[in-house]
Amino acid sequence: MADFGVYAKFASISARVGTRASAVSNLVAWTDLIILNVETTINVMTRKIWAVDDAAFTALSVSTKTILTDAAACLAAMYVIQYDISGMPAREAETRLDFLYNRFLSDIKILEDVKTRDFLIKGV
């Protein structure tokens, strides 16, 4: 099975989803469908295309990769949980979604800031 994500792979998404996610939505094939949308969302929100393939992603600094992976995995995990929340109590699903949403927004805020972006890219 393919794992199409550049910013985040299935393992990082699944780790954020948790153990009670729907067996259907927490599959590589399903996350492959949403990861391109997630990565495009990050690029548009930050007004920067961070990487177009695995080689370009590997060339980024460790800090940049970590933030991009967290942002992509959090947003993708939200899609996975929202697809079918029947595997967990509604309150738990809401709490997970709130946590993932806050993490995602925090990561986007870091990536949007020009001074922080320059630091991440140039190290100065």
What's the CA gap between 52 and 36, in Å, rounded? 11
Please give the pLDDT value at position 25. 67
* Packing angle of the helix pair 62-83, 114-122 (nearest 10 deg): 120
Query: Does pTM top 0.85 for this prediction?
Result: yes
For 58-101, the pLDDT digits (tens) are 999 999 999 999 999 999 999 999 888 887 888 999 999 999 99
Please give the pLDDT value at position 31. 81
Question: What's the average model confidence in pLDDT over 13-34?
Answer: 79
Q: Which amino acid, 99?
A: F
Alpha helices (H) in the chain, listed in sequence order: 10-17, 28-46, 54-59, 62-83, 90-112, 114-122
Please give the pLDDT value at position 107. 97
Domain ranges of the chain: 10-122
Please give the pLDDT value at position 22. 73
What's the CA gap between 18 and 113, in Å, rounded? 30
Sign of the C-alpha dihedral computed for residues 97, 102, 41 and 74 taken in this order = negative
